Amino acid sequence: MPLYENRFQVRASPEAVSFFHKDTSALQRLTPPPIFVQIHSIEPLAEGSQSEFTLWFGPLPVRWLAVHSMVDPMHGFTDTQARGPMKRWVHTHSWNAVDAYATEMIEHVEYEHFAGLPGFFTRLLFAPPLLGLMFTYRKWIIKRALERSEASAR
């Protein structure tokens, strides 16, 4: 089964990282252009909470229902695709303090494509190089948002 993992450090406390991910606008902020995300419903991050949205890849809509589990406010959570384009998509967000002013973040994704035509499209849309670009963008947004707010708080 394919895996994707992105590790990086952010100059922010685990509390700040947790607060960032609890914000229901985080998904919109973390979706890289030219993809557009349309939120249908989003519940505050909690065990069993759900987010339903459509990712627009140009004129192509990809509807998704994610369910959150293993929610630990100080260390992360997992979102699992309950309904969507992939045969399997399990995305674990985790973070741990490096010191009082830095946090290591890990985004770990286990995914599997369907066979046939549906799998052909997801293999294009979620190819490893594109996942790399998507998660590089996410890293940039997280660092930009958190490091600016932490710097101004000091």
Q: Provide the pLDDT for residue 64.
A: 98
Q: Which of 41, 42, 85, 50 has the alpha carbon at shortest distance from 69? A: 50
- Confidence category of residue 150, pLDDT binned at 50, 70, 90: low
Please measure the distance between the N-terminal and C-terminal CA atoms of the chain and give it in whole angstroms: 44
What are the structural domains, with CATH classification, of the chain? 3-153 (3.30.530.20)
Global pTM reads: 0.92
Per-residue pLDDT tens digits for 62-102: 999 999 999 998 999 999 999 999 999 999 999 999 998 89
Beta-ladder partners of 63: 54
Per-residue pLDDT tens digits for 132-144: 999 999 999 999 9
Q: What is the mean pLDDT of the chain?
A: 94
- Decide if 25 contacts 31 (C-beta within 8 A): no
Distance CA 133, CA 131 (A): 5
The CB density around residue 132, as the number of other CB atoms within 10 Å, is 12
